Each structure stands twice: as structure tokens, then as C-alpha cells.
Amino acid sequence: KNEVEQSPQNLTAQEGEFITINCSYSVGISALHWLQQHPGGGIVSLFMLSSGKKKHGRLIATINIQEKHSSLHITASHPRDSAVYICAVSGGGADGLTFGKGTHLIIQP
């Protein structure tokens, strides 16, 4: 069973700062997902990646398959980025995701 670890658990930063959230997993995967959860609870999928790097607006996600490690970066952070960011992995097939515990990010104005 895959173990997914995220760090840090909590992160408070000032508006404009560059943010990095890390995720590591223990067993080979078919894909890694970065998700965003706002206080209301609903989850939005930000990225799904199996290699390399993806960028969407101010968000960048990278993955190193050999190291079993992924990072989520936020450039020019803004208070509206405040949310819980969750890393999840899938092992192939359709038997669901294994989730990290999430990183609670607060961006102060």
C-alpha cells in the first residue's frame, strides 16, 4: 500500500511570496494528483501528472519519478490561494486514490 507524505502540514506566508509544498510516496505510481480544498469542503483537481512538469497560471507542479517526489509551487501568492492542498496518487486501474493529509496554506495580505 502506498504511503503518501506531505510537508509542511501548515504554512503561513505573506502575499507575494513563492510557495512550495512537497509530496513523497513510497511505491511506484501511474499518476500523481494535486488537489485544492477550500473551507466549504469541495475538492478541485489542479494537476494530474506522471512525469516532468505542468504549469497553469501561477501554479507549477513537478514530479521526479525516480525520487518518488513531487512539488507544487505557487508564484506571487495571493490571499485567495489560501486553502488545503492535497497530494494523491493512483496506482493504475480504477481502484481509487491514496491521499496525503494535506497542507493547510494561509496567505496573509
Partner 1 sequence: DGGITQSPKYLFRKEGQNVTLSCEQNLNHDAMYWYRQDPGQGLRLIYYSQIVNDFQKGDIAEGYSVSREKKESFPLTVTSAQKNPTAFYLCASSTTREGSGYTFGSGTRLTVV
Binding site for partner 1 (CB under 8 A): 4, 30-31, 33, 35, 40-45, 48, 50, 86, 88, 90, 92-102
Q: Among residues 61, 54, 58, 35, which one has the least CA distance to residue 46?
A: 35
HSE at residue 31, side-chain half, CA atoms within 13 A, is 15
**Closest to partner 1 by CB, 13 or 99:** 99
**Closest to partner 1 by CB, 77 or 98:** 98
Report the chain's terminal Cα–Cα distance, integer Å. Answer: 40
**Closest to partner 1 by CB, 6 or 77:** 6
